[in-house]
């Protein structure tokens, strides 16, 4: 690991300024495997994530110690805890010691390897680096990346459908099936049949799910199934595997993806075929969401043979759901969301 074992899970308080014009606020500073995590001191909600290799001290030798997450960032963090300051400085001394030095043969042979493990302290396999990077990216950054992928998808599918009444109905549908905080449903006009998931709890839907069915239960079933796929396979990890090692390392160390790393991913995403999810898991979600599973099952396989478990164990087979998914008016508006 980057941080030495004696500093594992070290925490202290500090004063964080989000930008040059912002007020300082007290935060909890957590010293983690390859990062500093800044959390609200009142409710422990993460506010910022700094990569340790990129952290720099802007006032060497002075107290309180003032740090910034990089050369061009307006954030600052003031620390007075000598143990935390010593931990950060010790990591940077280790990083400096591992830098290549002119005249040494191993600097030529191992230069690339040292850059790879800079600030990590171990040799990461690509899969491990992807998993670690995805695990430390905050939701706001995931949403930003999801929006960038959506823009790339739009080059092929066209701009998302957004008629006024339909958009309001879609927002209501999203709140019912995804939740009121974070995440959204997006309907695209072409190139997609079914659903796909993006980072930031964004679910893409093809217009066929609302235009080709008489009730919203089919679309709801596809959305619930896609949410299960997103839980089983992190969409950010899927992107990073596609973008490659360089883009992943850049995201880990700077908090940003290279500008061209997403180009073309939208086409690759639309070309993939979603896998089946376990009937037992899906049925539990249908019941919790108040959605019958049979309409979705017959949409997947009109014969019912391959989805018999979803039909026979439909949680609302003998009784109606507790509440309609949408009003009749909202469903009609949603069906016209891609209209002129």
Q: What are the pLDDT digits (tens) for 251-265?
A: 999 999 998 999 999
Is 210 in the same domain as 148?
yes
Question: What tens digit of pLDDT does each residue of 213-244 get?
Answer: 999 999 999 999 999 999 999 999 999 999 99
Q: What is the SS3 string spanning 10-25?
A: EEEEEEEECCCCCCEE
Please give the residue range of the domain that contains residue 145: 136-335
Angstrom distances, CA of residue 215 to CA of 50, 153, 335: 47, 27, 10
Question: Residues 175-199: what's their mean pLDDT?
Answer: 91
Q: How many domains does the chain have?
A: 2
Q: Is 69 found in the same domain as 200?
A: no
Query: Which of 44, 69, 98 delimits the end of a domain?
Result: 98
Do 84 and 170 lie in a common domain?
A: no
Mapped onto helix, strand or coil, the DSSP state of residue 76 is strand
pLDDT (0 to 100) of residue 115? 56
Calpha distance 107→62 (Å, rounded) = 34
Q: How far apart are CA 220 and CA 21, in angstroms?
A: 45
Residue 116 CB partners (closer than 8 Å, separation 6+): 123, 124, 249
Amino acid 3: pLDDT = 47
User: Is 144 within a domain?
Assistant: yes
Q: Token pair 């042979």 is at which residue?
A: 109
Give dist(CA 92, CA 54) in Å, integer.
10
Q: Do residues 189 and 298 share a domain?
A: yes
Report pLDDT digits (tens) over 59-85: 888 989 998 887 666 788 899 998 888
For the segment 203-211, the average pLDDT, to the nearest whole number, is 96
Identify the pLDDT of residue 40: 86
Task: Give the whole-number percent of the chain exceeding pLDDT 90.
Answer: 56
Determine the pLDDT at residue 251. 93
């Amino acid at each position: 690991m980057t941080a030495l074992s004696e500093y594992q899970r070290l925490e202290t308080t500090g004063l964080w300024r989000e930008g040059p014009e912002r007020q300082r606020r007290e935060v909890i500073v957590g010293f983690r495997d390859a990062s500093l995590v800044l959390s609200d001191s009142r409710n422990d909600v993460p506010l910022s994530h700094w990569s340790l290799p990129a952290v720099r001290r802007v006032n060497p030798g002075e107290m309180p110690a003032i740090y910034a997450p990089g050369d061009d960032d307006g954030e600052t963090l003031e620390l007075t805890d000598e143990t935390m300051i010593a931990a950060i400085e010790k990591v940077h001394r280790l990083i400096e010691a591992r830098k290549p030095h002119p005249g040494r043969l191993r600097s030529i042979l191992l230069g690339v390897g040292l850059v790879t493990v800079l600030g990590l302290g171990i040799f990461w396999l690509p899969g491990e680096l992807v998993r670690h990077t995805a695990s430390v990216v905050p939701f706001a950054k995931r949403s930003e990346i999801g929006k960038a992928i959506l823009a790339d998808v739009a080059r092929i599918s066209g701009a998302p459908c957004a008629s006024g009444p339909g958009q309001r109905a879609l927002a209501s549908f999203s709140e019912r099936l995804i939740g009121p905080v974070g995440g959204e449903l997006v309907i695209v006009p072409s190139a997609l049949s079914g659903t796909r998931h993006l980072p930031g709890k964004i679910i893409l839907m093809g217009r066929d799910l609302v235009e080709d069915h008489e009730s919203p239960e089919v679309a709801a079933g596809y959305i619930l199934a896609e949410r299960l796929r997103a839980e089983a396979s992190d969409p950010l990890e899927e992107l990073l595997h596609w973008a490659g090692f360089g883009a992943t390392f850049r995201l880990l160390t700077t908090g940003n993806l290279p500008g061209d790393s997403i180009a073309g991913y939208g086409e690759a995403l639309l070309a993939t075929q979603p896998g089946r999810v376990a009937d037992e898991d899906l049925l539990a979600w249908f019941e919790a969401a108040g959605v019958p599973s049979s309409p979705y099952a017959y949409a997947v396989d009109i014969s019912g043979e391959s989805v018999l478990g979803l039909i026979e164990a439909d949680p609302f087979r003998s009784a109606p759901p507790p509440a309609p998914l949408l009003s009749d008016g909202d469903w009609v508006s949603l069906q016209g969301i891609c209209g002129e």
